[in-house]
């Protein structure tokens, strides 16, 4: 997720905050502080302190939910990149999908399970303190038990990509054996759930005049519908990419330039006349790196005469090459993991060609136009 920044690490997983989280944090905090949770007549500062602490504990519970997903994923050998808090809750960036329905189901169910456990802990705490007379603490703990219970229950709704939808997909996958078909069906229910939320939201806004709740529900529904359809598109795309070999999408007319060549010469002789955008940088026909338009743009124009290809290139040890037999899905994942726009295809030492993100997308568009 872009527009997010790191705030630390939990169990080796980076924890990130998306800017939209601040909006929901302020909303939750103010509605806790001033929304009638605390008894009337409470000093203002107590309500505000209570609101902030309760809100932070709530988001910590959301993080715990995501961490549980992540730790289970890791047990199945699936690395987890980061956890991001954003306006609609939390999301763990799990780098790949489970390869067995059993693993998928356990990974998905672990999140709501942790929310129920947390709800139980706050419930027990409430039983212990509710007669203590400390009203701010008692009300906050009660709300935390209730909200974690709701969080667990909401996530169990069987609409993909909610956790319950993932469990549903795992069951369909297990019974039918077809991952893509299972995803399509689970996404359809996900979209259905999204539309129900939108309808419910519009209903409560216009019929019940609860504008805020209505708009919020509509928003969540819209988000779910979007997430469900894009998740399915991703799976469909992955399926197609898996059938394509790196050798079929690479460009082989990739020009090699000597590492000692000044940038000005590359621009004047190769980029402007032929429109080439990417070059292999070699010394004695050994690959040293890649130089692209963006590498050249990063160097001020006044220094193009004196800067060589070697000085401006992305060195070969920064990216791993792919093999001609690798599928396009792993090529694209490799590009995404390392934030690359180009990746060389090599057989041993010998570079055979180059794949760019652009050419891969172009290939996919062409296939879509031909209907294959």
Q: What are phi and psi of 18, to 5 degrees?
A: -85, 150
CB of 83 to Zn ion, least distance (A): 11
- Select 89 or 353, whichever has its Cβ closest to Zn ion: 89
- Select 155 or 292, whichever has its Cβ closest to Zn ion: 155
Greatest alpha-carbon pair distance for the chain in Å reads 83
Site string for Zn ion, 161-190 (x = CB under 5 A): --x---------------------------
Residues 68 and 80: their CA atoms lie apart, in Å, by: 11
CB of 295 to Zn ion, least distance (A): 41
Site string for Zn ion, 140-159 (x = CB under 5 A): ---------------x----
CB of 181 to Zn ion, least distance (A): 23
Beta strand ranges found along 210-326 (DSSP E): 255-258, 278-283, 286-292, 314-315
Neighbours of 22 (CB within 10 A): 12
Residues 58 and 47: their CA atoms lie apart, in Å, by: 16
Count of residues binding Zn ion (CB under 5 A)? Answer: 3
DSSP 39: P
If phi > 0 it is left, if psi is from -120 to 50 it is alpha, else beta; for residue 285 that is left
- Select 113 or 173, whichever has its Cβ closest to Zn ion: 113
- Select 167 or 335, whichever has its Cβ closest to Zn ion: 167
Residues 140 and 16: their CA atoms lie apart, in Å, by: 25
Kindly identify the residues of this chain, within the stretch 222-281, that bind Zn ion according to CB under 5 A: none
Question: Taking a C-beta distance cutoff of 8 angstroms, is the pair 278, 291 a contact?
Answer: yes
- Select 62 or 244, whichever has its Cβ closest to Zn ion: 62
- HSE of 256, CA atoms in CB hemisphere, 13 A: 16
- Select 50 or 165, whichever has its Cβ closest to Zn ion: 165
- Select 140 or 155, whichever has its Cβ closest to Zn ion: 155
Length of the chain: 372
Residues 95 and 86: their CA atoms lie apart, in Å, by: 19
Residue 111 binds to Zn ion (criterion: CB under 5 A): yes
Residue 104 binds to Zn ion (criterion: CB under 5 A): no
CB of 193 to Zn ion, least distance (A): 15
Site string for Zn ion, 53-92 (x = CB under 5 A): ----------------------------------------
CB of 310 to Zn ion, least distance (A): 48
Both tokens of 208, joined, read 């019940």
CB of 22 to Zn ion, least distance (A): 22
- Report the residue closest to Zn ion, judged by CB: 111
Both tokens of 292, joined, read 């692209």
CB of 294 to Zn ion, least distance (A): 37
Residues 247 and 332: their CA atoms lie apart, in Å, by: 14
Footprint on this chain of Zn ion (rule: CB under 5 A) = 111, 155, 163
């Amino acid at each position: 997720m872009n527009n997010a920044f790191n705030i630390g690490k939990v169990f080796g997983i980076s924890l990130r905050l998306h800017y939209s989280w601040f909006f929901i944090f302020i909303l939750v905090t103010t509605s806790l502080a001033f929304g009638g949770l605390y008894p009337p007549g409470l000093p203002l500062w107590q309500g505000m302190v209570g609101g902030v602490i309760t809100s932070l504990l709530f988001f910590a519970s959301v993080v715990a939910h995501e961490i549980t997903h992540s730790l289970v994923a890791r047990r199945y050998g699936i690395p987890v990149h980061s956890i991001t808090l954003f306006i609609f809750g939390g999301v763990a960036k799990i780098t790949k999908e489970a390869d067995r329905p059993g693993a998928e189901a356990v990974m998905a169910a672990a999140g709501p399970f942790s929310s129920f456990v947390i709800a139980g802990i706050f419930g027990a705490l409430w039983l212990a303190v509710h007669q203590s007379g400390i009203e701010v603490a008692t009300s906050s703990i009660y709300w935390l038990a209730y909200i974690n219970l709701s969080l667990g229950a909401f996530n169990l709704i069987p609409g993909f990509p909610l956790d319950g939808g993932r469990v549903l997909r795992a069951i369909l996958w297990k019974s039918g054996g077809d991952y893509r078909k299972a995803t399509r069906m689970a996404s359809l229910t996900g979209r259905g759930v999204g539309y129900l939320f939108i309808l419910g939201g519009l209903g409560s806004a216009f019929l019940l005049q609860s504008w805020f709740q209505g708009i919020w529900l509509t928003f969540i529904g819209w988000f779910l519908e979007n997430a469900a359809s894009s998740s399915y598109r991703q799976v469909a795309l992955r399926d197609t990419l898996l059938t394509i070999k790196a050798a079929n999408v690479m460009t082989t007319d990739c020009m090699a330039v000597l590492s000692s060549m000044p940038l000005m010469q590359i621009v004047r002789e190769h980029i402007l006349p032929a429109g080439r955008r990417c070059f292999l940088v070699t010394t004695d026909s050994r690959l040293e790196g890649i130089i692209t338009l963006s590498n050249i743009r990063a160097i001020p124009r006044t220094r193009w005469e004196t800067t060589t290809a070697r000085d401006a290139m992305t060195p070969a040890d920064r990216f791993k090459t792919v093999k001609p037999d690798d599928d396009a899905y792993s090529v694209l994942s490799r590009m995404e993991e390392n934030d690359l726009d180009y990746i060389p295809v090599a057989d041993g030492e010998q570079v055979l060609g180059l794949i760019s993100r652009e050419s891969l997308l172009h290939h996919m568009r062409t296939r879509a136009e031909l209907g294959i």
